[in-house]
Structure 1
Amino acid sequence: MRGLFVTATDTGVGKTEVACAILRNARAAGLDVIGMKPAQSGHDPGEPSDADRLRAACDGAEPLEVICPYTFAAPLAPAVAARVEGKTVSLARIVDAARALAARHEAVLVEGAGGLLVPLTERETYADLARALGLAALVVARAGLGTVNHVALTVEALRARRIPLAGIVLNRTVAEDDPSVPHNVAEIARLTGCEPLATLPFVRDIAERASIVRSRLAGKIQF
């Protein structure tokens, strides 16, 4: 399968924003790439969900239920949310859905939920999904204090499972800097051997921010 697996070091670090920017850049360059959100939980019905945003970034090329096979109300890891709602998540079903998308499109971008080891099913994590799909992983992380440890642990977990590292993106999630910000890129490169592809700025205006994210990532992600 040709594609990319987008993961993060934590929840709320801007993973969907980065995934949407990558999708829009790739499609603008002429690549028929489709986004997929295997499972989402805790969606506010009054706001666009992660899957909605991925679908919009792909110009609505596939129905929402195809892009996102599982949706849960509780803001919990998919395996836990499914258990609370008396449901189950099947890794095989997700893999089949991803392969079906890959058969209709040139590439598939699969966005995880939270971090790499978030429980997806009762037995498997998102790392198991990335391995099952044979996709390299792009890691999205906060730009501030604590990110060096989080990124290094995530990269170590990827390498222990022989999941290729496609790159690292640092994302400013708050307006205020902290003393670590000027040093984090170099420290991450020193510890992991992989220099982050970009450090994305904090911009309050959503449209302006989306444009900046796209420009900073243009040409840096390969499928």
Structure 2
Amino acid sequence: MLPSTPSQSSPDATPTALPRRLVVAGTDTGVGKTMISALLVRALAARYWKPIQAGLPPLSSEPSDSQQVQRLSGCPDSAIVPEAYGLQHPASPHWAAEQEGILLERQRLWPPEEEEYQALVVELAGGLLVPVTRHLLQIDVMGEWALPVVLVARAGLGTINHTLLSLEALRRRRIPVLGLVLNGDGFADNATVLPQLGRTRLLGHVPRLPCVEPVVLEQVWRSSGMASWWPATAPSSHG
């Protein structure tokens, strides 16, 4: 007989206290992790850290994720924690590091201690199973941190499979999941079926934004529903 629920895992527990440190992870590359990170940095007056930043000059003319988060959130320079590794090749960390003769050491990928009364948002690279080295996956590093995860996923076609697989991978490693954020335009039912099948909470749905700047993020923080999960925050606390 088929099971009555699509997943055998337990639903994500509601946290008893708001976490001071959290990880923004994605179901894939390009799903909007950086924008959601900027949203959280702005709303929580948090610091930001990207452990491994690939795609830096001169091989890329695009601003780094740290630069984008600072611009989008309006946070001060002091809120951006320098990355552990900066790589030029816009590729998977393991390959980019190999091309540049850099050894990525596990012990350097430990989140910095939080400043007093200040939260920390950690943004990861690509999807969960991105290789850090040829013997170490990003999700295994996350398992050592044991920090709660905000999972960012596309709202449109194809997201169900990617999102459910990502949630399953996190739970198999006993990594706590705060919930799911859908990003962009898509099918309205995805906002219902993903929390149901994934046994998690929908923290919010951020629509496609034609313009992203600090004042817009403040509005999105409230309109997306995310503010209800962090009720004590002041959206303009970064300036």
Both structures adopt the same fold (TM-score exceeding 0.5): yes
Asked whether 1:213 is paired with 2:226, we answer no
Please point out which of 28, 44, 50 is paired with 1:37.
50
Tell me how far apart the structure 2 counterparts of residues 102 and 189 of structure 1 sit (CA, whole Å).
Answer: 30
Please point out which of 126, 147, 150 is paired with 2:159.
147
Please point out which of 201, 204, 213 is paired with 1:195.
201
Q: Which residue of 2 aligns with 1:48?
A: 63
Percent identity, aligned pairs only, is 35
- The structural deviation recorded for 1:48 is 2.5
The amino acid of 1:130's aligned partner reads M
Tell me how far apart the structure 2 counterparts of residues 203 and 211 of structure 1 sit (CA, whole Å).
Answer: 13
Tell me how far apart the structure 2 counterparts of residues 121 and 71 of structure 1 sit (CA, whole Å).
Answer: 15
Q: 1:109 to 1:42 in 2, by over 3 A?
A: same
State the TM-score, normalizing by the size of structure 1.
0.82
Asked whether 1:186 is paired with 2:178, we answer no
Q: Cα deviation per residue 1:48-93 (whole Å; 9 max; x = unaligned)?
A: 310223355442115x6x4212111111111111011111111201
Tell me how far apart the structure 2 counterparts of residues 42 and 146 of structure 1 sit (CA, whole Å).
Answer: 26
- The structural deviation recorded for 1:109 is 1.4
Q: Which residue of 2 aligns with 1:166?
A: 178
Query: Which residues of structure 2 form unaligned runs of 5+?
Result: 1-18, 234-239
Bigger shift: residues 123-132 or 85-94: 123-132
Q: Which residue of 1 aligns with 2:5?
A: none
Q: Cα deviation per residue 1:91-115 (whole Å; 9 max; x = unaligned)?
A: 20121xx23x436664321110111
State the TM-score, normalizing by the size of structure 2.
0.77
- The structural deviation recorded for 1:46 is 4.0
Please point out which of 7, 12, 23 is paired with 1:5.
23
Tell me how far apart the structure 2 counterparts of residues 77 and 210 of structure 1 sit (CA, whole Å).
Answer: 29
Please point out which of 69, 72, 76 is paired with 1:59.
76
Please point out which of 133, 137, 145 is paired with 1:125.
137
Q: 1:201 to 1:80 in 2, by over 3 A?
A: same
**Matched-pair contact (CA < 8 Å) for 2:50–2:124:** yes
Tell me how far apart the structure 2 counterparts of residues 209 and 171 of structure 1 sit (CA, whole Å).
Answer: 15
Point out the structure with max Rg over C-alpha.
Answer: 2
Query: CA RMSD for the aligned pairs?
Result: 2.4
Q: Secondary structure, in 3 states, of the residue corresponding to 1:148?
A: helix
- The structural deviation recorded for 1:211 is 4.0
Q: 1:104 to 1:69 in 2, by over 3 A?
A: farther
Q: Which residue of 2 aligns with 1:30?
A: none
The amino acid of 2:86's aligned partner reads T
Q: Secondary structure, in 3 states, of the residue corresponding to 2:31?
A: coil
Asked whether 1:20 is paired with 2:38, we answer yes
Q: Secondary structure, in 3 states, of the residue corresponding to 2:77?
A: coil
Bigger shift: residues 4-13 or 213-222: 213-222
Query: Which residues of structure 1 form unaligned runs of 5+?
Result: 28-32
Would you tell me which structure has more helix in proportion to its own residues? 1
